[in-house]
Amino acid sequence: MAEQTLAGLRVLVTRPAHQAEGLIDTLQKQGAEPVPFPLLEIAPIDESDRSAFNLIKARILDLDLYAGVIFVSPNAARIGEQWIDAYWPQLPLGIDWLAIGAGTAATLSQLGIPAYHVANGFDSEALLADPLLADVSEKRFLILRGEGGRELLAETLKSRGATVDYADLYRRVCPSYSQAQIKSTIYAQRLSVILITSGMALDNLLELAGAESDLLETALIVPSRRIADLASARGFTRIRIADGPDDSSMIRALRPAD
């Protein structure tokens, strides 16, 4: 039986539902009470949006023209692999397959795409600091991501002389909750801690629940200094930075210091 190191903690789990199962299971085994409250839904682009769909298709059909393909998240890996599999029965040769974060690389590996990732890095900054992307002049890259993602990766590669294209594979949608659901989940019983892994999830939490003092005074665990700064600017007062956004790092940040 797993050690009950998190006994008594009521933890708000805000990952998209399809990505939260492992985290919820581990929290339960360690004695915590996980409270599922997804703050993002992932909606893949489909043929109902003909223009966006056709742009993705064109990028994928041109896959062999790129020196490198960068997957920015596990969702980009999962949806991107489906697109690639539909048009490329065999992976084109001569491409550097790159992943941001170990979780993204692991998803790609499970799907048969051997992608490189920075061992101890989980964001664009870590990948950009890697020697592999130091000399990219006149090379062409495709970034597979969600609609409206960060621009740092593309802008930095362009500044180094590369050509960069996007394929926006999905939209992040704020789930719909009734006021009764929000009250019973967030305010009726005191939360011990909230787990947040993106700036958009943070904004959706405040949009749904309001910037009430009870919420802003609840402990918040985030995966990076960037998101910690966002949370502080929005009024949160008890912020802890985990080593990364993966389940293990977020759970380690929950444990009391030795």
- Name the 3-class secondary structure at 54: helix
Chain-wide mean pLDDT for the chain? 95
Q: Do the beta carbons of residue 108 and residue 78 sit within 8 Å?
A: no
pLDDT above 70 covers what percent of the chain?
A: 98
Domains in the chain and their CATH numbers? 10-40+174-254 (3.40.50.10090), 44-172 (3.40.50.10090)
pLDDT in tens, 189-235: 899 999 999 999 999 999 999 999 999 999 999 999 999 999 999 99
> Do the beta carbons of residue 253 and residue 221 sit within 8 Å?
yes
Separation of alpha carbons 221 and 238, rounded Å: 9
For residue 4, name the pLDDT band (cuts at 50, 70, 90). Answer: confident
pLDDT at position 257: 56
How far, CA to CA in Å, does 240 sit from each of 161, 195, 229? 37, 10, 11
pLDDT per position as a tens digit, 31-63: 999 999 999 999 999 999 999 999 999 999 999
pLDDT at 2: 55
Helices 74-87 and 102-110: crossing angle in degrees, nearest 10, is: 30
Q: Which tens digit of pLDDT belongs to each residue from 90-104?
A: 999 999 999 999 999
pLDDT band with cut points at 50, 70 and 90 for residue 256: low
Give the pLDDT score at 1: 43
Per-residue pLDDT tens digits for 16-38: 999 999 999 999 999 999 999 99
Distance of CA 80 to the CA centre of its chain: 15
pTM: 0.91
Q: Which residue has the tokens 């947040």?
A: 196
177, pLDDT greater than 70:
yes
Q: How far apart are CA 81 and CA 111, in angstroms?
A: 7
Q: Please name the residue ranges forming H helices in the chain.
A: 21-29, 50-61, 74-87, 102-110, 124-128, 152-159, 179-182, 199-209, 213-216, 225-233, 247-254
